[in-house]
Amino acid sequence: QVPLVESGGGLVQAGGSLRLSCAASKSFFSILPMGWYRQAPGKQRELVARISGGGSTDYADSVKGRFTISRDNAKYTVYLQMNSLKPEDTAVYYCNAKLSGFDYWGQGTQVTVSS
């Protein structure tokens, strides 16, 4: 009964694409601000992309033009389409939702990009 569950990670070559999905366990997550974060070995967790309940988006400079965050509120799901992947994108990717200042996190999904 984990609130958020990520899927879609894997191993790809540089220049490839992956689509991550984050499925919420409860319908109320459909109206929450949500985002994708990532954490590479030896580095702090960083924001990759976020989307408001109304659909406005924001991206880290490092992924602008390559990644797209979207959500399907009817399915309680948020997506991260990742194109033109680079080795530096290698990290564990986490889905996040905020409710009244409290952060909910998924278990993470590994993305590995080979050079």
User: Could you report the per-residue pLDDT of 21-35, keeping only the tens digit for each?
Assistant: 999 887 777 789 999
**Tokens 């601000």, located at residue:** 33
* Integer-rounded Cα radius of gyration of the chain: 13
Mean pLDDT over 70-90 rounds to 94
Q: What pLDDT was estimated at residue 75?
A: 87
Q: Is there a contact between 18 and 12 (Cβ–Cβ < 8 Å)?
A: yes
Q: Is there a contact between 59 and 3 (Cβ–Cβ < 8 Å)?
A: no
| Alpha-carbon gap, residue 72 to 55, rounded angstroms | 10
The structure tokens listed for 18 are 């992956």
